[in-house]
Amino acid sequence: MKKLSAFAAAALVLAAACGDVTAPGGASHCSRDNIATGRNQAECSYIVSVHDGISPEAVARDHGVMPHFVYHDVLHGFAGWLADSTRDALLADPRVEMIEADAMEFEQTIQSGATWGIDRVDQRALPLNGSYSYASTGAGVTAYIIDTGILLSHNEFGGRAVKGFDAVTPGGNAQDCNGHGTHVAGTVGGATYGIAKAVKLVAVRVLNCAGSSTTSTVIAGVDWVTHNHAPNAVANMSLGGGASAMLDNAVAASIASGVTYVLAAGNSRVDACGFSPARLPAAITVGATDATDTRASFSNFGTCLDIFAPGVNINAAWHTGTTTTHTISGTSMAAPHVAGVAALYVASHPGATPQQVRDALVANATTGAVKNGGTGSPNTLLFSNY
């Protein structure tokens, strides 16, 4: 992934009570003409939340905004391109709760070149024994892969992968044109390379073919999951960007609806508490380790992490063919190991709440195994057998 060293800059949060503000980056060039002609559309995209009981559609209509997303489940609001004058008018509208500048979100992968990961998590200590033992398959659990989509026809999934929602291409088929989402799904629930070998996999496409997106698009995917999720659901988000109150609130609302969320800590070698959604306390945030149980050189760390899992040189399904696999590294690869184990736990404990799942995985983790975990990090390594 070419942009890993550059997480999205911290999003600008604008409270409705604030005074004058400028466009992201300090510019003031979001004129109606520029937006209409396609210039500065990304720079002029905002997420607007309105107070409870207020219609987002009505607020957008009153201000002449044509939203590209409207949210009803994880927050009440909309996303759209705002001219400076429109943004200022919305800030003065008492129906508006908050405005946040849209920002870029990225997959959390590092390219590199067998799957030792599932072998590691079923045993307490090294050396590896060359096998993966499991008492549960995740049957009856649905895993939502909020990512670049999934190659649904890949042999690893045996018909268990289905289209959920495509926020990148309206009306699209959520197929993967990047590989990242297929790989993540393969670790969560692939027949050969996966943890939960009978889990249902649902593609929720929020990242484009380059593995990037906007916060507003990611929230649209989270909103869809919240409205449509099955009972006994887990979700994997191997993506992230700068701090975003809107994204944090959206994922928190989805967790409150009953979905267990597993998040990648990020690959910036710094404290994960500076990134969204990784900093969210109610989710399970995952750092990466290598085959020696050492924190991966790229992995974020800190008190916002809950657990570590294998994330270096992980082999899993790939999007270029129905039998293709690929080996890559990143906290993106660590998180789906945990999401898979979360699915195993939920399969064995139907009706478990997200908090119960999180507490169980952390309590059952192997302690004291992670070397150089980083300041503030928990010394907990994923363990899959209960």
Mean of pLDDT values over 9-20: 27
CATH assignment of 106-381, given 1.10.3720.10, 3.40.640.10, 3.60.15.10, 3.40.50.200? 3.40.50.200
Structure confidence at residue 31 (pLDDT): 58
How much of the chain exceeds pLDDT 70, in percent? 87
Does residue 196 surpass a pLDDT of 90?
A: yes
pLDDT reported for residue 115: 82
Q: Directed axis angle between helix 331-348 and helix 354-364, to 10°?
A: 110
How many CB atoms are closer than 10 A to CB 25? Answer: 11
The pTM score is 0.85
The domain ranges of the chain are: 13-102, 106-381
- Active-site residue list: 147, 180, 332
Q: Of the candidates 174, 42, 166, which has an alpha carbon nearest to the alpha carbon of residue 105?
A: 42
Would you say residue 35 has pLDDT above 80?
no
Residue type present at position 77: G
Name the token pair of 182: 């297929």
Whether residue 386 is predicted with pLDDT greater than 90 in this model: the reply is no
User: What pLDDT shows up at residue 30?
Assistant: 74
Fold: same for 13-102 and 106-381:
no
Lowest mean pLDDT among 79-93, 271-285, 291-305: 79-93
Percent residues over pLDDT 90 in the chain: 83
Candidates 3.30.70.80, 3.40.50.10380, 3.90.1150.10, 3.40.190.10; CATH matching 13-102: 3.30.70.80
* Interval 18-42 mean pLDDT: 42
- For position 42, what pLDDT does the model report? 58
Strands (E), 199-306: 200-205, 212-214, 233-237, 239-242, 260-264, 275-276, 284-289
Q: Among residues 366, 218, 373, 379, which one has the least CA distance to residue 300? A: 373
pLDDT in tens, 235-260: 999 999 999 999 999 999 999 999 99
- Asked if pLDDT for residue 116 goes beyond 50, the answer is yes
- Strands (E) across 138-246 are located at 142-147, 161-166, 200-205, 212-214, 233-237, 239-242
Task: Say what the pLDDT of residue 353 is.
Answer: 99
pLDDT, the chain, mean: 89
Whether the pLDDT of residue 36 is over 80: the answer is no
8 A C-beta contact, residue 317 and residue 157: yes
Confidence check: pLDDT of 14 > 80 = no
69, pLDDT greater than 90: yes
Contact 329, 112 (CB under 8 A): yes
Contacting residues for 277 by C-beta, under 8 A, at least 6 apart: 237, 240, 244, 247, 248, 251, 261, 263, 283
Q: Is the pLDDT of residue 121 over 80?
A: yes
